Amino acid sequence: MGQSAENDFRIGEYWIGRKSGRDTYYRYWYDPERGVTRRASLGTSDFEEAKDKLAVWYVANKDIPELSELEAVLLSDVIRRYYEKHAQHTESHETSRANLLIWLNYFEPETTVHDATRPKAIDGFIRHLQDKGNKSSYINRILTDGRSAINRAWKDGEIASAPFIKTLKAETAEPKGRPLEMEELRAFYHTAETPHLKRFILFSVATGARPSSIMDLHRQQIDIERRLIDLNPPGRKQTKKLRPAVKLPAPLVPHIEDGWQVTFRNKPLGSIKTSWRKQRARCGLDAQVNPYSIRHTVARHLRASGVPVWEVGAQLGHKKKEDSITEIYAPMDPSYLGQAVEAIEEFMAEMLVDPSQRPLVSLPIRCPSKSGLEAETVVNIGAGDEIRTHDPNLGKVVLYP
C-alpha cells in the first residue's frame, strides 16, 4: 500500500498516496476481485495538483446509474459532474464555481440530493446565508447554480426527478454609483495620478459602457475607419448584459493604443477598485461614487441632451425583447447613434478642458470614512492596484470539496 500523503485526501473509494522512495503521487483503490490494493500514477509530485487530477478523473470515470432515486445519489457528485462537464466552460465559470463551492461547504459530503433539497434543508441553507449578511439577490444566484446542477443531472438521466428549490423575493436593486457633476468629473480625471485610471475614465465616458467592458477592451475591437467600437470581444457570447457596438467619439481617437486599452505594468487590468478608491478620497467625494458612476453620468447627459430613448438604450446595451435580428447590421448605418455620439463628444470636450485654461473647482479636502466619521484625504497613492489577470491558466482550480 502506498505511503499516506502529507494530508489525507480521498474521493469515494479512491485516495492519494506515494510509493516508498518516490516523489510521484498515485491514485490508489482496493480491488475486491483480486483482494489487493491497486494504483495508477497521477503524473505529478505536487500534492495540490494531485488532488485536482484525482477529482477530475473521478468525475469523468465514476459509473453513473441511470434514473437513480434521489436518496441514492450524492449531492457532491451531482455538483462535481455539472461543474466539470458544463459550468466550467461558460463565461460565468468563476462565479458558478464560487457558488457551487458554497453548496459543497455547507452540506456534508455524504448528503444525498434528497436530503439536501428537502424544504427544511433548503430553508436552513438560506438562513445560513442570510446570517452571513448576504442579500436575497446574491442568495438567489447561489440557489440558481445548485438548482442548475440538479436539473442537469435530471436531464442527463442521472436522477429520476428534479426537486423544487425555492427562490427568494429579491430586494429592489439600488443603482450602482451616483452620477457625477461635470466639475466633479473634471477634477477626478485631471488630478488622477495613475495612467490606467485616467484611461479607464476616458474610455468609460467615451462609451458609457460597464466597467467590465472597458477592462476587456482590445485594439482589435476598435474600427477607426468606420468609427466603431465593438464592446463585445471576438468569441465572447452575448449575455443579458448586452455589450453593444457603439460609435467611436472623435476625442478618443488620439488615445487609442495597440493591445489592451487599460493596462497596468503592460498587463491587462482586471480591477480598478483600489486606484478608484484612493482617487475618490483625494477628491473628497462620497462612497456612492464608484466605477459605475461614469456610466450613469453618461446616461443622464444623453437624456438631458435630448437624445432619443432608443439611442440611449442602444448606446448603453439595454436589450429589449422586441429587438430585431436586423439590428445586428445597424452599426453599419452612417446615422447609427448619431445623436448619442454627438452628445458624448460635447461632453468629452468639456471634461478634457485643460485646467490651465479653466481652473478646476475646489473640492473638499476631507471625505467621509466607512464609519461615517470624517477622515483625512488620501494623498499618497502607491502602485499596487488589485491586479487580476486575463491569463486563463492563472488561478485555475478544479472543483472539489
Query: 292: pLDDT confidence band, cut at 50, 70 and 90?
Result: very high
pLDDT at 333: 64
Q: Going by DSSP bridges, is the β-strand pair 374-376/366-368 parallel, antiparallel, or unpaired?
A: antiparallel
User: What does the pLDDT look like over 21-51, one tens digit per residue?
Assistant: 888 999 898 888 888 898 888 888 888 888 8
pLDDT at 172: 60
User: What does the pLDDT look like over 240-283, one tens digit per residue?
Assistant: 788 999 999 999 999 999 999 999 988 988 889 999 999 999 99
pLDDT at 161: 84
Q: Are residues 9 and 16 in contact, defined by beta-carbon separation less than 8 angstroms?
A: yes
pLDDT at 383: 37
pLDDT at 348: 97
Flag whether pLDDT at 323 surpasses 80: no
pLDDT at 320: 59
The domain made up of 182-376 is a member of CATH 1.10.10.2840: no
**C-alpha grid cell for residue 39?**
494504483
pLDDT at 363: 57
The pLDDT of 359-384, averaged and rounded, is 45
Q: Are residues 246 and 231 in contact, defined by beta-carbon separation less than 8 angstroms?
A: yes
pLDDT at 12: 75
pLDDT at 176: 76
User: What does the pLDDT look like over 112-170, one tens digit per residue?
Assistant: 999 999 999 999 999 999 999 999 989 999 999 999 999 998 888 888 888 899 889 87
Q: Report the range out of 10-19, 50-59, 207-216, 382-391 with the highest average pLDDT.
A: 207-216
Flag whether pLDDT at 328 surpasses 60: no
pLDDT at 96: 92
Determine if the pTM surpasses 0.85.
no
pLDDT at 4: 46
pLDDT at 208: 96
Query: 200: pLDDT confidence band, cut at 50, 70 and 90?
Result: very high
Flag whether pLDDT at 371 surpasses 70: no
At the topology level, CATH places domain 63-173 in: DNA polymerase; domain 1 (1.10.150)
pLDDT at 392: 44
Flag whether pLDDT at 382 surpasses 80: no
Residue type present at position 334: P
Query: 369: pLDDT confidence band, cut at 50, 70 and 90?
Result: very low
Which residues make beta-bridge pairs with 247?
228
Q: Report the range out of 187-196, 328-337, 359-368 with the highest average pLDDT.
A: 187-196
**Domain extents for the chain?**
1-62, 63-173, 182-376
| Chain CA centroid to CA 233, Å | 15
The 3-class SS string of the chain reads CCEECCCCCEECCEEEEECCCCCCEEEEEEECCCCEEEEEECCCCCHHHHHHHHHHHHHHHCCCCCCECHHHCEHHHHHHHHHHHCHHHCCCHHHHHHHHHHHHHHCCCCCEHHHHCCHHHHHHHHHHHHHCCCCHHHHHHHHHHHHHHHHHHHHCCCECCCCCCCCCCCCCCCCCCCCCCHHHHHHHHHCCCCHHHHHHHHHHHHHCCCHHHHHHCEHHHEECCCCEEECCCCCCCCCCCCCCEEECCHHHHHHCCCCECCEECCEECCCCHHHHHHHHHHHCCCCCCCCHHHHHHHHHHHHHCCCCHHHHHHHHCCCCCCCCHHHHHHHHCCCCCHHHHHHHHHHHHHHCCCCCCCCCCCCCCEEECCCCCEEECCCCCCCCCCCCCCCCCCCCCCCCC
pLDDT at 197: 97
Task: Print burial letters for 349-387: b (CB count within 10 Å at least 16), e (below 16).
Answer: eebeeeeeeeebeebeeebeeeeeeeeeeeeebeeebee
